[in-house]
Amino acid sequence: MFSRKTLDKVNEMMKDWEREVKDVYEEKLKFESPQYSSESGIPVKYVYTPKDIQDKEPEMPGAFPYTRGNRALGYQYMPWMIQLLHGYGTGEETRERTKYLIREGMKGYGKTPAVLFAVDTPTHCGFDPDNPKARGMVGLGGVNISTLDDIDTLLKDYDLPKTRVADNIRFTCLPFLAMYLVYAEGKGHRPQELNGQSQNGLGNRCLTTNLPSPMPDAQYKLEIELIKYSCKNIKRWNHTNLCGYVFGEMNVTPAQELGIVMSKAIDLVEGGIKAGLRPDEFVSRFSSQVHLGMDFFEEIAKLRAWRRMWARIMKGRFGCKDPKSLQYRIHVHTAGSSLTSQQPLNNITRATLQVLACVLGGVQSMHTNSYDEAIGLPSEEAVRTAIRINQIVLYETGIPHVTDPLGGSYYLEYMTDKLEEEAEKVMSEIESKGGYFECIKNGWLRQLLEKQSIKWRQEVDGGERVVVGLNKFKIYEEEEVPAFTVYQPEVEEEAKEKLKKWKANRDNSKVRDSLEKVKDAMSDYDSVEKAGILMPELIKAARAKCTLGEMMDAIVEVSGGRLYST
Amino acid sequence: MEKNQSKGNIKVLMARFSLDGHDRGLLSVMSSFRDAGIEVVYIYFSDSKELAKVAQEEDANIIGVTSSMGQHFFIASTLLDALDERGIIMPVIMGGVIPTRDVPSLLDLGIRKVFGPGSAPKDAIDFVMGLS
């Protein structure tokens, strides 16, 4: 990238610089130079020069391998989506929160409203509100969904084909998708008209937030089933969210996050191929949720390396030709784990730096955490402030006017290459142990996550890692931040009442029959080659008014039950 | 009962409600407990009665429960009732994401101590060590 002459000149200048550091700082001032390294353990020098990137080929946005951006134009043509995951209490409360967020600026691409809703843990696991196992948890952390009525409560104000519907459901993605399709059908819409996304990340969800999940073999089959079905029937549906966020929250390093997610993508693409799909049919419909922590430059480097690594794998390994398959669209969730409950307004500063890193890294979409999220669910004021961070960066700073503005920075380019190298090592290690899903089964991944989160805590307790307000710059009288409260017992009672009425108004013999057929289909679905046989039965079951929990129970009954802890 | 009388043999029953998947804090605290020579038994439970039963069987010195999704009152009240029903007198401490304004009410209910976000594991270790 540089002429011989330039590099020679740099060599000369470097010698002067090194001499000054040695003579003045080290010898005269007795400065003991600290050794820095990035979160991923990459040593960081004090200064970078053209020599650090002398072998690099020039790159442009919109061209393979897309390090600098997927398209020729970035935010000049299309600002990032401001999408906030939200949901709590009753469907009505969640619907009101959605409206509030849209009014304040939450949006999908163009004019499409985005409804990105969180569900409670009983819904994640497939325990209906009348199941004793759901007791005490209905409506916490998200809205409860067990029937088509519950979906109607959330979505009745939206024109579905013009709405991006994205749930964050963990294990019950398939029953929920079946219910959503039947709900849309009732409104006169065919599956092909719909757009949105499923999480479809059963594996990583049981590794991180440790909830009762289907068995690992069943997890893989259910994920492939959703890919196959949506690829054939709902072309605009983003079937799988390749979620690195949950790993980041367990304190894996940026390089580990990237390596783990790529190894998962490889397993899923291979599964899709076994299920009879061509990679170009479904690779472009992977979506993402990347974790964005506090190591500013390394995080920007990660976003750039992410796109490049994806493009190289999908082209080189899977022979994808469609540019869309090679362009990784990034949605970021700013790091919840970086927030502190102490001096919570400091979290606005953290989120601002994270939003800035995202914009400099060229992401397509962002969830920005609210400052009070270490204390509980966010208040309206806090969530509005989170949206405003995005709007201030977008409209007041001029930062989005130039695509990949740090491209060519000696440091950032060097870091991007190094980060990719480190991530490749992690990916190879997982592959050498049988791949992502095998590493869930054999416990290797869970052990890594536990080790990382304990290490983080020890560093904080030992003071080697500074978290402002938590282990340094503490104040003695902590200000009280009002915590947002869900009146859980009332929400649970209401949900149980509604469910009771729902069950009284259906043909229970039809329910039983269709659940038997779900079980039969799941039993027959003994290898991913047969993917595609389960979803039609789930759709029929949803039409027969089966609940989310009933469908999930049918699935797990014939696939080894639920795994309670990894 | 003998093992409970010396400091080196304190046994803590750590518990997580199975539908609250947040166990990062819990893992760190357990690791610190073990490093401090405290015996740790870890279970997840879906019913407080189940937890009370295990506490009795394990003959623990103390129960530590985590709550990060706002179910702290539900767990505190059902667990303390379940312990009462079995006639067990065993201190219960809580950790996780618990708003400070809820702490006095939890203490009123009978929870011995609440370790919210940002508490140092040392605080919990000192508390547990101070029991015997």
Residues A22 and A89 in one domain: no
For B69, the closest of A137, A249, A478 (CB atoms) is: A137
Mean pLDDT within B91-111: 93
pLDDT at A312 over 90: yes
Burial A176-206 (b: 16+ CB within 10 A, else e): bbbbbbbbbeeeeeebeebbbbbbbbbbbbb
Given this model, what pLDDT does residue A480 score?
A: 67
Shortest Cα–Cα distance, B50 to chain A (Å): 12
Q: What is the mean pLDDT of residues B104-120?
A: 91
Looking at the domain assignment, is residue B2 inside a domain?
Answer: no
Q: What is the CATH number of the domain that holds A287?
A: 3.20.20.240
Residue B99 falls inside a structural domain: yes
pLDDT digits (tens, 9 = 90+) for A291-302: 999 999 999 999
Give me the pLDDT at residue A478, please. Answer: 65
C-alpha distance from A45 to closest chain B C-alpha (Å): 32
Q: How far is CA B127 from CA A463, B4, B130, in A?
A: 22, 15, 5
The mean of the pLDDT values for chain A is 94
Percentage of chain A beyond pLDDT 70 is 98
Here the CATH number for the domain that contains residue B65 is 3.40.50.280
- Indicate yes or no: CB of A134 within 8 angstroms of CB of B19: yes
C-alpha separations of A485 from A89, A233, B98, B111 in Å: 9, 40, 11, 20
B110 within a domain of the structure (yes/no):
yes
pLDDT at A362 over 90: yes
> What percent of chain B lies above the pLDDT cut of 90?
70
Residue B39: predicted pLDDT:
95
- The answer to whether residue A485 scores a pLDDT higher than 80 is no
Region A9-27: mean pLDDT is 97
How crowded is residue A428: how many other Cβ atoms within 10 Å of its Cβ?
Answer: 12
Where would I find the H helices in A313-345? 323-326
Q: How many folded domains does chain B comprise? A: 1
The tokens describing A129, both together, are 């509100």
Residues A259 and B27: their CA atoms lie apart, in Å, by 24
pLDDT tens-place string over residues A322-337? 999 999 999 999 999 9
| Beta-carbon contacts below 8 Å between A and B | 100
Q: What residues of B are in contact with residue A470 (Cβ under 8 Å)?
A: 118
Can you give the pLDDT at residue A268? 97
Mark whether A118 and A206 lie in a shared domain.
Answer: yes
Give the highest mean pLDDT range of A369-383, A495-509, B93-107.
Answer: A495-509
Which residues in chain A are contacts of B22 at CB distance < 8 A? Answer: 209
Q: Is the pLDDT of residue A167 over 50?
A: yes
Do residues A241 and A167 both lie within one domain? Answer: yes
Q: Which residue of B has its CA nearest to A460?
A: B120
| A30 and A87 belong to one structural domain | no
**Whether A291 and A170 share a structural domain:** yes
Overall average pLDDT of the A180-200 stretch: 96
pLDDT of residue A90: 82
Residues of B in contact with A342 (CB under 8 A): 117-118
Q: CA A154, CA A150: separation in Å to the nearest integer?
A: 7
* pLDDT at residue number A566: 58
Residues A383 and A452 in one domain: yes
Q: What H or E segment, with its residue span, contains residue A12?
A: helix A4-20
User: Is A430 part of a structural domain of the chain?
Assistant: yes
Q: Test B21 with A249 for CB contact under 8 angstroms.
A: no
State how many domains chain A has. 2
Same domain, A48 and A93: no
Q: If you write DSSP's letter for every residue of A99-130 in order, what string do you get?
A: HHHHHHT-B-STT--EEEE-B-HHHHHT--TT
Q: Is residue A130 part of a domain?
A: yes
Dump pLDDT digits (tens) for A109-138: 667 777 888 899 999 999 999 999 999 999
Which among A419, A424, A423, A462 has a CA at the least distance from the CA of A43?
A419
Q: A247 lies in a domain?
A: yes
Q: Is residue A87 part of a domain?
A: yes
Q: What is the mean pLDDT of residues A361-370?
A: 96
In a domain, B78, yes or no: yes
Smallest Cβ distance to A454: which of B28, B44, B99?
Answer: B28
Which distant-in-sequence residues (6+ apart) come within 8 Å of A18 by Cβ?
none
Query: Are the beta carbons of A211 and B19 separated by less than 8 Å?
Result: yes
> Confidence band (pLDDT; 50, 70, 90) for A207?
confident
- Both A261 and A387 in one domain: the answer is yes
Residue numbers in B near A335 (CB within 8 A): none
Complex prediction ipTM: 0.86
Residue B120 has its nearest CB partner, among A208, A209, A461, at A461
- What span, in angstroms and rounded, lies between the C-alpha atoms of A164 and A82? 12
Chain A residues whose CB is inside 8 A of the B121 CB are 457, 461
- Within a domain: A106: yes
Element (H, E) at B121: helix B121-129
Residue numbers in B near A374 (CB within 8 A): 97, 117
Provide the domain limits for residue A24.
Answer: 4-53
Is B106 within a domain? yes
Q: Examine residue A508 and state whether it is found in any structural domain, yes or no.
A: no
What's the one-letter identity of residue A259?
Answer: G
In which order are the strands placed within the sheet that holds B62-67? B39-45, B11-17, B62-67, B92-96, B113-115
Q: Examine the pLDDT at A350 and tell me if it is beyond 70.
A: yes
pLDDT digits (tens, 9 = 90+) for A424-442: 999 999 999 999 999 999 9
Beta-carbon-side half-sphere exposure of residue A124 (alpha carbons within 13 Å) = 28
Tell me whether residues A453 and B74 touch, CB distance under 8 A. no
Q: How far apart are CA A459 and CA A473, in angstroms?
A: 16
Alpha helices (runs of H) in A130-194, residue ranges in sequence order: 148-155, 173-186
Closest residue in chain A to residue B18, using alpha carbons only: A211
What local confidence, expressed as pLDDT, does residue A89 receive? 78
DSSP codes joined into one string, A415-481: HHHHHHHHHHHHHHHHHHTT-HHHHHHTSHHHHHHHHHHHHHHHHHHHTSS--BTTTBS--SSPPPP
Q: Is residue B22 part of a domain?
A: yes
Residues A282 and A430 in one domain: yes
Rounded Cα distance, A59 and A44, in Å: 24
- Asked if residue A173 and residue A40 are part of one domain, the reply reads no
Q: What are phi and psi of A75, to 5 degrees?
A: -70, -15
Best residue in A339, A454, A563 to probe B by mutation, most B CBs within 10 Å?
A454
User: What pLDDT, on a 0 to 100 scale, did the predictor assign at position B121?
Assistant: 84
Chain B residues contacting A via beta carbons under 8 Å: 16-24, 27-28, 31-32, 44, 46-47, 69-71, 74-75, 78, 97, 99-102, 116-118, 120-122
CB contact under 8 A, B24 and A127: no
User: In this model, does residue B6 exceed pLDDT 70?
Assistant: no
Q: What's the confidence (pLDDT) of residue B1?
A: 35
Q: Residue A84 pLDDT > 90, yes or no?
A: no
Q: What is the mean pLDDT of residues B90-111?
A: 93
Contacts of B103 in chain A (CB under 8 A): none
Partner residue opposite A454 with nearest CB, options B27, B100, B118 = B27
pLDDT in tens, A450-482: 999 999 989 998 999 999 999 999 997 766 666
Q: To the nearest whole angstrom, how far is the Cα of A250 from the nearest Cα of chain B?
A: 7
Q: Which residue does chain B place closest to A125, by CA atoms?
A: B19
Of the pLDDT bands very low, low, confident and very high (cuts 50, 70, 90), residue A203 is confident
Q: Tokens 């057929």 appear where?
A: A517
Q: Is the pLDDT of residue A77 over 80?
A: yes
Mutation pick from B16, B22, B23, B24 vs chain A, by most beta carbons of A within 10 Å, is B24
- Chain B residue numbers touching A490 (CB-CB < 8 A): none
For residue B34, pLDDT over 90 is answered with yes
Mean pLDDT of A200-218: 86
Give the span between the Cα atoms of A242 and A245, in whole angstroms.
9
Check whether residue A47 and residue A191 sit in a common domain: no
Domain-embedded: residue A196: yes
Between A207 and A285, the higher pLDDT residue: A285
- Domain membership of residue B1 (yes or no) is no
pLDDT at residue A110 in the model? 67
pLDDT score of A270 more than 80 = yes
Indicate if A275 and A142 belong to the same structural domain: yes
List CB contacts of A204: < 8 A, sequence separation 6 or more: A243, A246, A247, A264
Q: To the nearest whole percent, how much of chain B has pLDDT over 70?
A: 93
The phi, psi pair for A134, rounded to 5°, reads: -90, -10
User: Within a domain: residue A312?
Assistant: yes
| Closest residue to B23, CB basis, from A210, A456, A482 | A210
Q: Give the pair of three-digit tokens for residue A81.
A: 């989506």
- Residue B15 β-bridge partners: B43, B65
By residue range, what is the domain housing residue B66?
10-129
